[in-house]
Amino acid sequence: MSMIPQSILENKPRILRRLTFFAIILAVAMIQNIGLLPEIVGLRFMPLLPLVLSISLFEKETYGLNFGLLAGILMDVNVGRADGTNALFFALMGFVCGLLMTYLMMNNLITASLLAAVFELLYAGYSCLLHCGFSADAVWALFGFYLPSALMNLLTLPLIYYFVRAVNKPFRVMGNEDFY
């Protein structure tokens, strides 16, 4: 007789998949936050946004929300302001992406790119408003830094999407789950 409850044994592939995604988010957040990623022409690459979006596409809305909340908290901790704005944005993004994939959209690179473009634009505008307010420099900052950074993140989405898909597939096969 095993000491491990039957429900854990039945859900082992799901649990392992989600722990793997958790570890990936922690690793990417650490790489992003300690500055190992190079700045290209003064633009910052932030892989957490496309990563959380991609993970949320393969999970349901609740886990998309949880993974988004985790990534947002890790970004807020790095910024030094514990106001929770990134946590709120990322949690909402994860929830909406998971909800759309569960009930409305098909999961493929085109829908991932469309959603990433929308959320990258929203995040660029939100970040510019949060950091610059309605000052005279806000327009320059939006078009000179925030939108080009969003475009750079958007261009890396296919690589991140296919990486998440490759990580997701063996766990889905192992658990006899439908693969999006």
pLDDT of res. 110 = 94
pLDDT category of residue 1 using cuts at 50, 70 and 90: very low
Distance in angstroms (rounded) separating the CA atoms of residues 97 and 61: 7
Segment 111-122, tens digit of pLDDT: 999 999 999 999
**What confidence category does residue 26 fall into, taking pLDDT thresholds of 50, 70 and 90?**
very high
77, 30 contact by CB (below 8 A): no
Mean pLDDT, the chain, whole residue set: 85
Task: List pLDDT tens digits, range 71-111.
Answer: 999 988 887 666 888 899 999 999 999 999 989 988 899 99
Does the pLDDT at position 5 exceed 70?
Answer: no
Residue 178 has pLDDT above 70, yes or no: no
What lies within 8 Å, CB to CB, of 132 at 6+ separation is 138, 141, 142
Q: Which residues, at least 6 apart from 134, have a Cβ–Cβ distance to it below 8 Å?
A: none
Range picked from 33-42, 147-156, 167-176 for highest mean pLDDT = 147-156
For the entire predicted model, the pTM comes to 0.87
What is residue 41's three-state secondary structure?
coil
User: Mind listing the pLDDT tens digit for each residue in 45-61?
Assistant: 888 999 999 999 998 89
Portion of the chain with pLDDT greater than 90, in percent: 44
Q: What are phi and psi of 46, to 5 degrees?
A: -120, 90
